[in-house]
Structure 1
Amino acid sequence: MKNIIGIPNPNIIMIGKNNMNAKPIYSLSQIVTYFLKLGTIGFGGPVALVEYMHRDLVEKRGWISEDDYKEGMALAQLAPGPLAAQLGIYLGYVHYRLVGATLAGLAFVLPSFLIVCLLGLLYVQSGGLPWMQAIFFGVGSAVIGIITMSSYKLVKKTVKKDWLMWGIVTLSGIVTFMYEEENLCLIMASGIIVWLRKKPPKLFIATQKAFFVPLFLQTASPPEIDNKLTTIGMFFLKAGAFVFGSGLAIVPFLYGGVVKEYHWLNDHQFMDAVAVAMVSPGPVVITVGFIGYLTAGFQGASVAALATFLPCYLFTVLPAPYFKKYGQHPGIKAFIDGVTAAAIGAIAGAAVVLGKRQITDIFSIAIAFITILLLIRFKKLPEPIIILAAALLGLIFKSSF
C-alpha cells in the first residue's frame, strides 16, 4: 500500500507541492459527487478503492497533489480505521477541512450503507426460503477462500522475514482459533513489544496520548445496558477503533462479539453478512450495517454504521493538522507494525474458525479451493465476480439435490 505511486498530472505543478493551504481547482460539490459515485460503483475492496482515488484525483484530474495523497495514505495506515474510508475523508479534508472531510466521508459510505440495508430487508423477508439459503451456501464457501488469501497476502507483505512479527502472527492466530474470539489485550501488547524492540521509548508521554483513546475503546468492556440500541452502539464504537488497514481485520472482532458474546446472529448469518459486504460496493466494513439491520432493523443498521465510522472520522480529522510534523515518528510506526501483525494473525485464526463451520461437504470444499486457485492465478480478478459465480453455483447445487 505504501508504494501506490502514479505519474503526477501536470496540473499538480500549478497547485504546488503540498497544497493543503492552496486554492483548490475544484469545488466542494465536485469532490462530494466524486465520492458519491465511487461509493456507488467502487467494487474490489480497499486496495482497488485507494487505487481508484489515485488514478482519478491525482493522475487524471490533478485535484490532489501526490504529496497530499501520500500523506493521506500514511495516516490511513497508521491510525485506526478502514483504509479506503479514511483516505477518502482525508482527501476531502485537504482543501475543504472539516466540511469537506465530513461530506466526502458521508458520500463515500452512504450508497453502500443503503445497499446493505436493502439486502438486509430482502434477507429478513425471505427468511428461510431455500433459494436464499442456496445462494449464501455457495457465497459463504467462497468468502472463506477470499479471507484465506487475504491473510496470506497480508502476511507476505507485512511480516516478511522478521522473526518477532512471525511469532506475533502465529500466537495471535492460535489464540483466536482456540478461544474463537479476538484477544484485544494481546493485540495491544504486540504493538508495545514491537515498539520497545524497534524504537525504545523517548517520547513515551506523547505516544501514550496519541493512542489513549483507541486503547481505552479497545480494552474497556461496555457497561451492562438494557437498551439494545445503546449496546449495539457501544460495541460497534469499540469495533471502529480497532480496524487497522484492511476491512477484513474487523471480521474476527465482530465474530467474537456478534456471535459468541451477544448471540445477535448465528454462524451462518454472520457468514452471510460478510458475504454481503464482499458483493457490495464501497468499504468492506459496511458489513456492520447488515449486521445491525438483522439485529435491530434500520435503526440498528444506522447505529452500527455511525458508531463504526465515527472513530475512523475522528482519527482522521483530529491528527490531520499535526500529521506532517509527528506522523512519521518511528515509535508510532513500530507500535502500528506490532498491532497490524497481531490483527493479521487474528484474521487467519478467524478464517479457520469460520471455515470449520462453513466447509461441511465436498461441494463447499471445492468452492473454497477453486476460489483460492483463481485468486492465485488471476491476481487482479475482482472479488465480486467470484462471489456472484459462487452464488450461482450454490443455487444450482441446492436445486439439484
Structure 2
Amino acid sequence: MIQETPGTPKDERASHGIPFGEAVRVWVRVALYSFGGPAGQIAVMHRLLVEEKRWVSEDRFLHAMNYCMLLPGPEAQQLATYVGWLLHRTKGGLVAGGLFILPGFVSILVLSVLYAAFQETTLVQALFYGLKPAVLAVVVEAVVRIGRRALKNGVMVGLAALAFVAIFFLDVPFPVIVLGAGLVGFLGSRFREDLFLVIRGAEAKEGDSDSFATDGLVEATRPPIAQTVRTAGVWLFVWLAPLAVMAAVLGTSNVFVQEGLFFSKAAVVTFGGAYAVLAYIAQQAVDTYGWLRPGEMLDGLGMAETTPGPLVQVVQFVGFMGAYRFASGLDPVVAGVIGSVVTTWVTFAPCFLWIFLGAPYIEYLRGRKALTSALSAITAAVVGVILNLAVWFALHTLFGEVDEVVWNGVRLFRPVWASVDPAAVVIAVLSAVALFRFKVGMIQTLGLSAAAGIVYYWTFLA
C-alpha cells in the first residue's frame, strides 16, 4: 500500500492513504504533459499512475481504458476522470477531468484570438501553410495505428471498408455508422465470437494485486437505482440548463444556441476518439453552418495537435470562429470567447455524466464479452471513418479547388488537378516519412513542417 505522507491532514486522506493534495499535483503533471493525442496521453497516465506512483494496478487501468473507449467522448480525458473518481470519488473525478481540459482550453483560446485577428497576415498564413500538410500525415498515421489494432480479420476489414464507402460516397450520417457497427458487433459475437471479440486487455502481472493502492476499493455490485437517478439528474442539469436558458433568452437561431445544440449532439456520437468525428464536424461546420472555410479545420486541428489536452478540443476553435463570424452585434472577439466557452462546456459536461453515471456500472459489468465485441466492431468502423477524414483533408490541403459531384445518389469529390500545390505535397510526404520511417515525434514533425512552410511561403508566395 501507498504510505501516508507525513503531515497530511487525516480528512484529506482516503482509505487507500493517497492524499488528495498529492493527487492534484499529479493531475497537474498529467495535464501539462498531455501532448501527442490519446495514445501519448494514456501513456503518460500509465507511467505516472501505474509505474511511478503505483496507485492503480495494470489490470484496473486497462479495464478502465477499454470501457472508456466504449463511451462517446475523448477516451483519455474520460480515463483521467475515471481514475480520479476511483481515487477520490466525485471531487477526484472533477479535478482530474477538469485539469486535463484546462491547459488546452487556454492555449487554443489564445491561438484562436490571434488566428481570427491576424490570419490574413503573412506570418500566420506561412505558419499554417506548413502545418496543414503535416497534420494530414498525422491523420494518416492514426489510420494505420488504429487499423493495426482493430483490423484483425476479414470481418473487421469489411466493416472498415463499408464505413468508408457509407460516409465518403453515400454521405451516411456518422451516428448511424457507429450505432450500426455496434449492433453488428453485439449480435455477431453471439454466432462467431472469435471474429468479433478482437480487442482484449492485457492480463495483469501475477502478484500485482497486493501492491497497488486502489485494489479492492470498488466492489463489483450493482449501484443503487436512487444513486443512478440522482447522478443522472444532476449532470443532465449541469449540461443542458445553460443551453435552455440561452435558447429562452436569445432564441434558437442565435449562433451560441446553434453551437450548443450542434456540439451537444456531437458529444453524444463521438465514439472512437476525436479523429472519428472530425470529418462529421468539419463538413457540418463548413457546408451547413458556414462557421469555417474548408481549409480552416486543418488550422484548428494543427492548434489542437500542438497544445496540451484532448484533440477534440479543436471544437473550441470551431465555436470561436463561428461566433466570431456571426457576432450579432457583439464585439467579434467577445462573441468568439463566449462561443469557445459554450462549445467547451457542452462538449465536456457529458463526459463527466458518462463517467459518474457509468463508472459504478463499468465495475459491475467487468468482463462482459458482448460489450467488448461491440467495441471491436465500432473501432473497425472508425478506421473507415478516419480514412474518410484523411482523404477529405488531403483533397482540401493538396488542391486549391475541389468540386463536389452527386451522381445517382453517390457523392464524388473531383479535384482540379491544375490547382495542385507541389510544395504542400512535398511537405506532406516528408512529414509522413518522418513519422513512419524515422519515428520522429509528432510535435517535432509539426514544428519542422511549420518552419519549412514559413521559409517557403516567405520566399515564394509572400
The answer to whether TM tops 0.5 is yes
Task: Say if 1:274 and 1:264 are closer, same or farther in 2 by CA, change over 3 A.
Answer: same
Q: Deviations over 1:291-347 (max 9, x none)?
A: 211222111111111111122222112111122221432221222222222222111
- Residues of 2 paired with 1:90 and 1:287: CA distance? 22
One-letter code of the match for 1:104? A
Residue pair 1:176, 1:182 contacting (<8 A) in 2 also: yes
Q: Which residue of 1 aligns with 2:450?
A: 391
Do structure 1's residue 371 and structure 2's residue 431 form an aligned pair? Answer: yes
Q: Which residue of 1 aligns with 2:205?
A: none
Q: Which residue of 2 aligns with 1:354?
A: 393
3-state SS, counterpart of residue 353 of structure 1: helix
RMSD (Å) for aligned C-alpha atoms: 2.5
Residue pair 1:182, 1:256 contacting (<8 A) in 2 also: no
- Residues of 2 paired with 1:329 and 1:75: CA distance? 11
- Name which one, 1 or 2, has greater alpha-carbon Rg: 2
- Residues of 1 paired with 2:164 and 2:261: CA distance? 26
Q: Which residue of 1 aligns with 2:327?
A: none
One-letter code of the match for 1:231? Q
Q: Which residue of 2 aligns with 1:5?
A: none
- Residues of 2 paired with 1:179 and 1:328: CA distance? 36
Q: CA deviation at 1:178?
A: 2.4
Q: Which residue of 1 aligns with 2:92?
A: 100
Q: CA deviation at 1:159?
A: 1.1
Structure 1 stretches of 5 or more lacking a match?
A: 1-9, 13-20, 201-209, 214-222
- Residues of 2 paired with 1:310 and 1:79: CA distance? 14
Do structure 1's residue 73 and structure 2's residue 88 form an aligned pair? Answer: no
Residue pair 1:237, 1:310 contacting (<8 A) in 2 also: no
3-state SS, counterpart of residue 281 of structure 1: coil
3-state SS, counterpart of residue 267 of structure 1: coil
Q: CA deviation at 1:390?
A: 1.0
Residue pair 1:75, 1:316 contacting (<8 A) in 2 also: no
> Greater CA deviation, 310-319 or 29-38?
29-38
- Residues of 2 paired with 1:323 and 1:183: CA distance? 25
Q: CA deviation at 1:355?
A: 0.7
Q: Which residue of 1 aligns with 2:369?
A: 330
- Residues of 2 paired with 1:164 and 1:321: CA distance? 33
Residue pair 2:2, 2:16 contacting (<8 A) in 1 also: no
Do structure 1's residue 118 and structure 2's residue 157 form an aligned pair? Answer: no
Structure 2 stretches of 5 or more lacking a match?
A: 4-12, 192-227, 233-246, 324-335, 400-420
3-state SS, counterpart of residue 241 of structure 1: helix
Q: CA deviation at 1:180?
A: 6.2
3-state SS, counterpart of residue 25 of structure 1: coil
161, 165, 169: which one aligns with 1:170: 161
> Greater CA deviation, 250-259 or 106-115?
250-259
Q: Deviations over 1:88-110 (max 9, x none)?
A: 00110012111110111111111
Q: Which runs of 4+ in 1 moved over 4 A?
A: 179-182
Q: How does 1:174-323 map to 2 (within 5 A)?
A: 174-178=165-169, 182-199=173-190, 225-296=252-323, 297-323=336-362
Residue pair 1:155, 1:344 contacting (<8 A) in 2 also: yes
Q: Which residue of 2 aligns with 1:7?
A: none
The structure carrying a bigger helix percent of its residues is 1
Residue pair 1:182, 1:252 contacting (<8 A) in 2 also: no
- Residues of 1 paired with 2:34 and 2:363: CA distance? 29
- Residues of 1 paired with 2:41 and 2:49: CA distance? 12
Q: CA deviation at 1:121?
A: 0.8
- Residues of 2 paired with 1:356 and 1:366: CA distance? 15
Aligned residues: 365
40, 48, 56: which one aligns with 2:40: 48
Q: Which residue of 2 aligns with 1:340?
A: 379
Task: Say if 1:75 and 1:22 are closer, same or farther in 2 by CA, change over 3 A.
Answer: farther
Residue pair 1:199, 1:334 contacting (<8 A) in 2 also: no
Q: Deviations over 1:356-390 (max 9, x none)?
A: 110131111111111111111234x3211111111
Q: TM-score, normalised by structure 2?
A: 0.74
- Residues of 2 paired with 1:156 and 1:225: CA distance? 44
Q: Which residue of 1 aligns with 2:407?
A: none
